[in-house]
Amino acid sequence: MTARRPATGAAVLRPELTEAVVEAVLAELAEVGYGRLSMQRVAARAGVGKSALYRRWPGKDCMVVDVVGRFGVPDDPAPDTGTLAGDLRELVGGMRDWLDHPRLGLVLPDLLAEARRSPDFAAAFRERLAGPRRARSRAVLERAVARGELPAGRAGGADAELVVDVLGSVPFWRLTVHGAPLDDDLADRLVALVVRGLTTG
């Protein structure tokens, strides 16, 4: 589920071709989705031969995971606005924007569907895409405990896990089931609900 490396230094896969292919894969994914993505069309769109694709990846699955993996992880560190609510708002907003991205947004549901069936795919997905985002959310919660905003017991363990899921799943669900991204009002209400849920009782 990852890119091949050349065996010896004799002739190296030309990186500009790889880039062209990556661009083409993203464009095709956005337009027709994973299921209807065709290696032939990707190759044609990138202006390369089919063999250039199969030389880099063993198949469609791996190619897509690898390509999407290159663009899924946010480069910036976890938000730090000084308050839990502020940080959560940032997280939810970031998730929403990622999902609504004109290129990547349409792809995530495809990947989830594929992951539900293929364990390899699921593992790659968790490692490359879900994992890094979850780590950012955890960091926010831990910082809130450190600041004393949250009781350590509740936010540190299973509840943290749960909140991480809520922050990821609700923006996804709104976009997919309702066909429109989570608006600012609902995002604020979601953050407020979670904060109240974590800090009371």
Partner DNA sequence: TTCTAATCGAGACGGTACGTCCCGTCTTGCC
Partner DNA sequence: GGCAAGACGGGACGTACCGTCTCGATTAGAA
Q: Which residues bind DNA (CB under 7 A)?
A: 6-14, 17, 37-41, 47-52, 54-56, 58-60
Q: Which does 48 bind (CB under 5 to 8 A by kind): a copy of itself, DNA, none?
A: DNA
Please say whether the beta carbons of 75 and 98 come within 8 A.
no
> What whole-number distance in Å separates Cα of residue 10 and Cα of residue 194?
57
**What is the footprint of a copy of itself within residues 68-97 (CB under 8 A)?**
none
- 44 in contact with a copy of itself (CB under 8 A): no
* Structure-token match 């959310």, residue found: 137
Q: Which is nearer to DNA, 55 or 143 (CB)?
A: 55
| Torsion, CA 166, CA 171, CA 173, CA 176, rounded to 10 | -160
Report the nearest approach of a copy of itself to the CB of residue 82 (Å): 21
Q: Which is nearer to a copy of itself, 23 or 161 (CB)?
A: 161
Say how many Å lie between the first and final Cα of the chain, rounded. 45
Q: Judged by CB under 8 A, which of 14, 50, 147, 189 binds a copy of itself?
A: 189
Report the nearest approach of DNA to the CB of residue 61 (Å): 7
Name the segment binding a copy of itself (CB under 8 A); options: 13-21, 78-86, 113-121, 136-144: 113-121
DSSP state of 100: T
DSSP state of 104: T
**What is the footprint of a copy of itself within residues 128-157 (CB under 8 A)?**
130
> What whole-number distance in Å separates Cα of residue 136 and Cα of residue 115?
22
Query: Angle of helix 131-147 relative to helix 84-99, nearest 10 degrees?
Result: 170
Query: Which residue type occupies 139?
Result: A
Q: Which is nearer to a copy of itself, 14 or 80 (CB)?
A: 14
Q: Which does 2 bind (CB under 5 to 8 A by kind): a copy of itself, DNA, none?
A: none
Q: Judged by CB under 8 A, which of 21, 42, 63, 115 binds a copy of itself?
A: 115
- Under the phi-then-psi rule, with left for phi > 0, alpha for psi from -120 to 50, and beta for the rest, what region is 38? beta
